[in-house]
Structure formats: C-alpha cells, structure tokens
C-alpha cells in the first residue's frame, strides 16, 4: 500500500496541544546537553529552531534525535507535538513523531 504524503501545516498555523506535520529548515541548534530524568537516568536534549515561509518555531530534540540534523538541513517532522513552553509554541517529536531530512 503506497503511503500518501502527509499534509504539511505551516509553522504560523501551529497551536499548542496538537500534533502537526511540517516541512522546515533548521536555522539554529544549541549544544547538546544532558538532563537528569525523573527515573534517575540521564537523557540528551538539544534545543533549536526551524523555519518555513510562514514563521519560526522552537524545536526540541531528545535522545538519539539530537544527532540527526545540522543547521541548514531541510526536514519533515511528521506527527510532531506542539506545546506551549514559557509562553511560546515549540515542537518536538513527542511519543509518535518522526523526523526525516528531505
């Protein structure tokens, strides 16, 4: 069964507490850092930004995702999760999202 291309949202249309599929360019990535999780393990996290023709949104990458992209990459985030963080929307892969270079 052929998979159809998922509909892409524009960054400006994203709202907190919804899943979204976007295509955007990675414009900024901060250094990878490790945080302590609730269960006492450490987890890698990396903050960045992605941008499309409509705007820019904060991006948060976790675990193995932190090494997947570099600044300038064009990416598709499928079923990413948008949430409100300190008054601004940010997108991460959440539980079921996928990140791929395009």
Contact of 90 with 49, CB cutoff 8 Å:
no
The CATH number assigned to the domain holding 87 equals 2.40.50.140
Task: Say how many domains are in the chain.
Answer: 1
3 in any annotated domain: no
79 in any annotated domain: yes
What pTM was computed for the model?
Answer: 0.88
pLDDT value of residue 72: 98
For residue 88, the enclosing domain spans: 11-101
Quickly state the pLDDT bin for 8 (edges 50, 70, 90). Answer: confident
């Amino acid at each position: 069964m052929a998979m159809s291309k998922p509909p892409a949202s524009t960054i400006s249309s994203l709202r907190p507490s919804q899943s979204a599929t976007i295509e955007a360019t990675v414009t900024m990535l901060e250094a990878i850092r490790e945080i302590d999780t609730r269960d006492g393990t450490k987890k890698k996290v990396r903050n960045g930004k992605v941008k499309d023709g409509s705007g820019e949104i904060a991006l948060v990458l976790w675990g193995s995702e932190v090494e997947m992209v570099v600044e300038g990459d064009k990416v598709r985030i499928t079923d990413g999760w948008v949430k409100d963080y300190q008054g601004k929307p940010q997108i991460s892969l959440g539980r079921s999202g996928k990140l791929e270079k395009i």
